[in-house]
Structure 1
Amino acid sequence: MGDERVAWKHIGFHGHSVGTFSADVTKIHWRSALYGNDEDMGTSRVIPSDAIKGAKWSIFGRKGHLRIQTTAKKIKHELRFDGFPHGDFEKVKETFRRFYDVTVEKNPMSSAGASYGKSEIEGRNLVFRHMVLEEAQEEGEEFEPRVGDEMLSLDLAEVSQCVLPGNNRHEIELQFPESDTHEAGTDNLVAIRFYIPPDADFENSDKSTPSNAEILQKNIMKSANIKNTTGDMLVEFPETKGTFLTPRGRYAIELYDNFMRMRGNKYDYRIKYDDISRLFLLPKPDDVHFAFVIALDK
């Protein structure tokens, strides 16, 4: 078994392109088909066998989708691959059992087409499950909701920002960075918005009581580590010098090697220098003050 290797071609790696997924007793290896054998393009992933904690199998359309949970600090907590043949579950299951002593669990997905559900933060994922309304047995009896299958799972490690759009206290918007490693013509999720209904006795004018959306936003910000910044700060400007028109408000400005951070009382933004196309310094009508404009590509 030491030299045995199992491989699948045309397997997509979430956030990247299509490539070859191979497994042997020492590791799982995925390599993009875009750059051949070039390992320096950031399009090759290796998961050591001792870092594999678990795996889940789901079916989307005619293809199998595999999520692999890991324990290594330098690897994402969960990696997602799709494009497996529909009928290869037993082959995948047996491969993980023999090579890694890991049981691949089936994770059924809801196909009810509902636009509502129950949200939970499970580890580093935001999971939405279908809420099934059981029919009442007797007239006048209320419907009893039951948690159904998973509808959606978002990796919070990929969230770049979570905001309440337009100061709406009952909606949240998750924003994701645009990937430069997708194949041309591939759709890329950059934002998704959810409405979280308030409790029946909630008063919108009571700012001291957080809404359900604000509570979920806080939990997402904590799980996604949005406020955590790595690297050495080069320059810092206090918020008294960071009055912005868009986004409106006062923000402290922190400059790092590869990005800048706008840190406000409620929201944080990270802007990669590569995403800045132009910088303008425009005089105001009083000929004393200037407006500084940062033009972004994304």
Structure 2
Amino acid sequence: MEAFNDIYLNFSKKHGVTRFADSGWGWKPSSGGETFTLDQSQILSAQWSRAARGYEVKVLSRTDGVIQLDGFKQEDFDRIAKLFRVWYGINLENREHALRGWNWGKAEFGRAELSFNVANRPAFEVPYTEISNTNLAGKNEVAVDFSLPADGEVNGHLGGARFRGKKSAGAKDQLVEMRFYIPGVASKKEKKEDGEEMTDGEEGEEQNAANLFYETLMEKAEIGEVAGDTFATFLDILHLTPRGRFDIDMYESSFRLRGKTYDYKIQFDSVKKFMVLPKPDDMHTLITIGLDPPLRQGQTRYPFLVMQFKRDEEVNLDLNMKEELLESKYKDKLQSHYEAPIAVVVSDIFRGLSGKRISRPSRDFISHHEQSGVKCSIKANEGHLFCLDKAFMFVPKPATYISMDNIASVTMSRVGGAMAASRTFDITFTMKGGLAEHQFSNINREEQQPLENFFRAKGIKTKNEMADDSGAILAAALQDDDLASSDGEVANRGSADEDDESVDEDFHTESESEVGEEFDENHRSSDDSDDEMADADADADSDAADKEAEMEQRPKKKQKTAK
């Protein structure tokens, strides 16, 4: 047996002792804890390289992927190389990393990790188990998302990557996204790195290199394909947040959204809230899923998914699950066959697989139109506010969740002119602990009493400012009526009243009207002349001469000279 002290397993925060034997090797933390062991038959290959805490041994296993032991000294190489060769029959490869600092190179897909090589040396490697998602961010750009911490932020430190729970970062910051710019085209033959030959027809086929990289990474990292086949699939589901249509694949511990541009894999552990909200249009049902950590699309985060289903759309679905598994693990949770509205089927399968509780609108609230939600706006975004038993939910955008435990008070007020305020009102939620307040505007005046009754039933401190300004609104309305019915007073005309009313000395009136139009009673239009009507069939030249003579007899209009 060979033993080495102060060795770190998979970037662990605490060091431990590593022992090698002919049957395999193991690692045990010095301060006590879970021990990791690997059988000799599971070892496929090993390499030695410079690392953060000295030198590391990277072991590729059959089932656990890449395992890293960090903290060795340079003089340990001969001992470790000998024991790998004698006990395991494996040559310990001494691999040097590229230190040129270039940001361009070649990406190679290995068996368990993605390697970025510069001048035929690896600049960095990314294990597939740490990749949570990948998307085509552009025509020649691929975004790679890394797994987020298991416990979120704990005491200012991130716990490490969550997927399969093997890597644990000890620093405060963690890399969560990387983008590759991949120009040009590539053939499908380059997709295979294990030497497998392609057929002649596929060998010459070329496609966009970024698309090929994206498809290969999806396959290698098994994004969305976890723990067997899908249990259920729903095609072309409309999502209001993020906007688009996605196919939904249900797995045992996660679900996947497949769109034309983006693919998302979401663990059921990330689902914190699940709400079924009947839309007040009597035609659709909204399913809202709260996520923590939120879904990321570039720089945009989506803490809520909002799906919309038609109420009258029914679906016949046979669950793709073995009877033994259905009876043993999901008995009384799932059915083998569903025939119901699609929103009901989706919510039932979500609840059965994830074990999450479904929240629905409170029975204590019924709007004026006998609905579960009221129409309102957040700034310029229209949506609906739903009253739940312990919270308020505004959908679709921006999806806003307000817990009743965090509400200090609710203020009901009118904003705007007298006419606008008489039809709608606003409500403002003042939050505890100095949190930002939430304001919902343009609520129908008829919904005031149902909302006020609900607030009081839930024990929420309510302030109604609309009663205070009712006198002002009434006075404004009366003033408008007085202005409309007044005959003796002239309304303020602004700058029009500033004109000088003195007589213009340059303006002289004459006996005949200057208008010269059909509105002048002294003017005889050519259209009204009986003589001209009688001679309507005369020569065209004669008519033109008569009109010209008539125009000469009209008094010339004098121009008004400006002072």
User: Do these two structures clear the TM 0.5 threshold for a shared fold by scoring above it?
Assistant: yes
SS at match of 2:115: strand
CA distance change for structure 1 residues 267 and 116 in 2, over 3 Å: closer, same or farther? same
1 CA distance for matches of 2:116 and 2:169? 28
Q: CA deviation at 1:64?
A: 0.6
Please give the residue correspondences for 1:30-41 in structure 2 after superposition, counting only pairs within 5 Å.
30-32=27-29, 36-38=32-34
CA distance change for structure 1 residues 229 and 12 in 2, over 3 Å: closer, same or farther? closer
CA distance change for structure 1 residues 173 and 19 in 2, over 3 Å: closer, same or farther? farther
SS at match of 1:154: strand
The correspondence for 2:66, drawn from 78, 92, 102, is: 78
Mapped contact 1:63–1:82 kept (Cα < 8 A): yes
Are residue 220 (structure 1) and residue 217 (structure 2) matched?
yes
Q: CA deviation at 1:237?
A: 5.2
Bigger CA drift: 215-224 or 82-91? 82-91
The correspondence for 1:197, drawn from 154, 172, 183, is: 183
Mapped contact 2:227–2:252 kept (Cα < 8 A): no
SS at match of 1:6: strand
Are residue 169 (structure 1) and residue 166 (structure 2) matched?
no
Q: 2:8 corresponds to which letter in structure 1?
A: I
SS at match of 1:238: strand
Are residue 89 (structure 1) and residue 77 (structure 2) matched?
yes
2 CA distance for matches of 1:245 and 1:91? 60
The correspondence for 1:49, drawn from 40, 43, 47, is: 40
- In the alignment, what sits opposite 2:97? 109
1 CA distance for matches of 2:12 and 2:176? 11
Q: CA deviation at 1:172?
A: 0.6
1 CA distance for matches of 2:175 and 2:17? 23
Mapped contact 1:120–1:126 kept (Cα < 8 A): yes
Are residue 178 (structure 1) and residue 148 (structure 2) matched?
yes
Mapped contact 1:97–1:103 kept (Cα < 8 A): yes
Mapped contact 1:161–1:174 kept (Cα < 8 A): yes
SS at match of 1:226: coil
Q: 2:128 corresponds to which letter in structure 1?
A: L
Are residue 123 (structure 1) and residue 119 (structure 2) matched?
no
Q: CA deviation at 1:271?
A: 1.3
Mapped contact 1:67–1:80 kept (Cα < 8 A): yes
Are residue 253 (structure 1) and residue 239 (structure 2) matched?
no
1 CA distance for matches of 2:235 and 2:13? 37
Q: 1:169 corresponds to which letter in structure 2?
A: K
- Larger CA Rg, structure 1 vs 2: 2
SS at match of 2:184: coil
The correspondence for 2:18, drawn from 17, 21, 43, is: 21
- In the alignment, what sits opposite 2:273? 278
Q: CA deviation at 1:45?
A: 2.8
Q: 1:260 corresponds to which letter in structure 2?
A: F
Q: 1:279 corresponds to which letter in structure 2?
A: F
Q: 1:76 corresponds to which letter in structure 2?
A: D
Mapped contact 2:12–2:170 kept (Cα < 8 A): no
The correspondence for 2:284, drawn from 281, 284, 289, is: 289
- In the alignment, what sits opposite 1:149? 121
2 CA distance for matches of 1:33 and 1:183? 18
1 CA distance for matches of 2:105 and 2:255? 36
Any stretches of 5+ residues in structure 1 without a counterpart?
Answer: 39-43, 131-146, 200-208
Mapped contact 1:117–1:128 kept (Cα < 8 A): yes
Identity %: 26
CA distance change for structure 1 residues 218 and 233 in 2, over 3 Å: closer, same or farther? closer
- In the alignment, what sits opposite 2:235? 239
1 CA distance for matches of 2:176 and 2:17? 26
CA distance change for structure 1 residues 119 and 88 in 2, over 3 Å: closer, same or farther? same
2 CA distance for matches of 1:90 and 1:151? 25
Q: 1:297 corresponds to which letter in structure 2?
A: D
2 CA distance for matches of 1:15 and 1:227? 27
SS at match of 1:220: helix
CA distance change for structure 1 residues 258 and 32 in 2, over 3 Å: closer, same or farther? farther
Mapped contact 1:283–1:290 kept (Cα < 8 A): yes
Deviation string, structure 1 residues 1-23 (Cα, Å, up to 9, x no partner): xxx23233241315886443221
Mapped contact 1:15–1:179 kept (Cα < 8 A): no
2 CA distance for matches of 1:63 and 1:95? 20
Q: What is the root-mean-square deviation in Å for CA atoms of aligned residues?
A: 2.9
Mapped contact 1:19–1:31 kept (Cα < 8 A): yes
Deviation string, structure 1 residues 178-231 (Cα, Å, up to 9, x no partner): 2425266454332211111236xxxxxxxxx84221111112122222252324
Mapped contact 1:62–1:86 kept (Cα < 8 A): no
CA distance change for structure 1 residues 187 and 91 in 2, over 3 Å: closer, same or farther? farther
SS at match of 1:189: coil
Please give the residue correspondences for 1:259-270 in structure 2 after superposition, counting only pairs within 5 Å.
259-264=254-259, 267-270=262-265
- In the alignment, what sits opposite 1:144? none
Mapped contact 1:17–1:183 kept (Cα < 8 A): no
Mapped contact 2:136–2:261 kept (Cα < 8 A): no
CA distance change for structure 1 residues 215 and 282 in 2, over 3 Å: closer, same or farther? same
- In the alignment, what sits opposite 1:203? none
Q: CA deviation at 1:54?
A: 1.9
The correspondence for 1:58, drawn from 49, 52, 55, is: 49
Q: Higher helix fraction: Structure 1 or Structure 2?
A: 2
Mapped contact 2:7–2:69 kept (Cα < 8 A): no
SS at match of 2:114: strand
2 CA distance for matches of 1:260 and 1:267? 14
SS at match of 1:163: strand
Mapped contact 2:132–2:223 kept (Cα < 8 A): yes
Q: CA deviation at 1:154?
A: 1.6
Q: Higher strand fraction: Structure 1 or Structure 2?
A: 1
CA distance change for structure 1 residues 195 and 117 in 2, over 3 Å: closer, same or farther? same
